[in-house]
Structure 1
Amino acid sequence: MEKKKKGGFRETIVLLVMGVGIALLLQAFVVGSFYIPSESMENTLQVNDRVFVNKLAGAPERGDIVVFKGWNGEDTIKRVIGVGGDKVVCCDSKKRITINGKPLEESSYLFPEDFPSGDKFDVTVPAGKLWLMGDHRSASADARSHMEEPGKGFIGVDAVVGTAVVRYWPLSRGMIFTKPESFAKVK
């Protein structure tokens, strides 16, 4: 009878260790949890929100919200506005950002009463790079703030940690992220 108790205890310990190991592997290679430290993505993401990021999502696309190793080397979260080959310009006569000549309707995610950009720019995104901007443009130190640096504000696709898929905290604001429709019109 004593042998049976020892076997059950060992089995429990082995299962516990395996569970922790699997959780650590998932965290390292599949899904990550990230904390939002600033107001640069408001109202989509508020300070202290937490999101799950899919690390296996593949190449980022226009409209995705991504976590990446930022301009200062820290994990940063922004929205993909342009991908390799895109010509991103601010602004047209109606003060909208255009991508490849198509105006971007950003009202579904841009911070209320904010504007697409206080800075004018006209960039062509190099292959393998991204043009990233926060949703609260007047409070976001994004690609526009780094245009004078050696990388000209672009971030390499290889710097992307993953794509944000869901806001899970706070529970009252839980949300699955989808691409805004306006990006579907850009070719």
Structure 2
Amino acid sequence: MTSKEQNSIEAPLWLRVWRSQQENFQLIVIALCLALLIRVFIAEPRYIPSDSMLPTLHMGDRLVVDKLAYRFGQPATGDIIVFETPEQLQGNYAKDQAFIKRIIGTPGELVSVSKGKVYLNNQPLKEDYIAEPPEYRLLPQQVPEHEFFVMGDNRNDSNDSHVWGFLPENNIIGRARFRFWPLNRIGFV
């Protein structure tokens, strides 16, 4: 019997399993590291906790949020974004609570709501994605530099910029890109 054979027989079971499965363990560790890196820097899954984005997104929908979208481009009107709790709401929501809304106004633009329509730079927006026309009025407001005006598609049941003000650019986590659950509604957002 060779010394190598003798060592493998005398080695504890866990060590023999480790040696025989070392390549598999390495693959698992690499896969976990890649998954963590992707989630932290590139994309992450999120769920929809409320009806504020009806009819576009439903409560319980699961989305992939693209965290790189705004490293290579600017947020634009119509983008659906996920963002951290605005400072104005931090007493009412947990700091790690994420929100999801649609960008309506970008820096320098004028936003208002009147007679059931949202206006951007004094022009009514064509909004075939909303649940119903807004039942409130918002005097014209110019969006400050590095901030955005965001609204839920369910205009009358959304805690958004018409309630708490402008969203700082720093709060944006990323852009909602793809719904992966439920399966019957799978697709790009």
User: Which of the numbers 82, 86, 92 marks the counterpart of 1:67?
Assistant: 82
Give the deviation of 1:8 after TM superposition: 5.0
Counterpart mapping for 1:126-137 below 5 A: 126-137=144-155
Quote the Cα distance in structure 1 between the aligned partners of 2:173 and 2:18.
Answer: 43
User: Which of the numbers 146, 169, 179 marks the counterpart of 1:157?
Assistant: 169
Counterpart mapping for 1:13-162 below 5 A: 13-58=25-70, 59-71=74-86, 72=89, 73=95, 74-91=97-114, 95-107=116-128, 109-111=129-131, 114-146=132-164, 153-162=165-174
The higher radius of gyration belongs to 2
Assess if the C-alpha contact under 8 Å between 1:68 and 1:77 holds in 2.
yes
Quote the Cα distance in structure 2 between the aligned partners of 1:124 and 1:99.
Answer: 10
Give the deviation of 1:100 after TM superposition: 1.2
TM-score after normalising by structure 1: 0.82
Identity %: 36
Tell me the amino acid that sits aligned with residue 120 of structure 2.
I
Unpaired stretches in structure 2, ≥5 consecutive residues: 9-16, 90-94
Quote the Cα distance in structure 2 between the aligned partners of 1:79 and 1:106.
Answer: 11
Give the deviation of 1:11 after TM superposition: 1.1
Assess if the C-alpha contact under 8 Å between 2:110 and 2:140 holds in 1.
yes
Assess if the C-alpha contact under 8 Å between 1:90 and 1:121 holds in 2.
yes
Provide closer, same or farther for how the CA distance between residues 27 and 85 of structure 1 changes in structure 2, counting only shifts above 3 A.
same
Quote the Cα distance in structure 2 between the aligned partners of 1:45 and 1:28.
Answer: 24
Give the deviation of 1:95 after TM superposition: 3.5
Segment of structure 1 superposing worse, 135-144 or 65-74: 65-74
Name segments (4+ residues, structure 1) moved above 4 Å: 5-8
Assess if the C-alpha contact under 8 Å between 2:116 and 2:136 holds in 1.
no
Give the deviation of 1:98 after TM superposition: 1.4
Provide closer, same or farther for how the CA distance between residues 96 and 139 of structure 1 changes in structure 2, counting only shifts above 3 A.
same
Q: Provide the secondary structure at the position in 1 that maps to 2:33.
A: helix
Unpaired stretches in structure 1, ≥5 consecutive residues: 147-152, 178-187
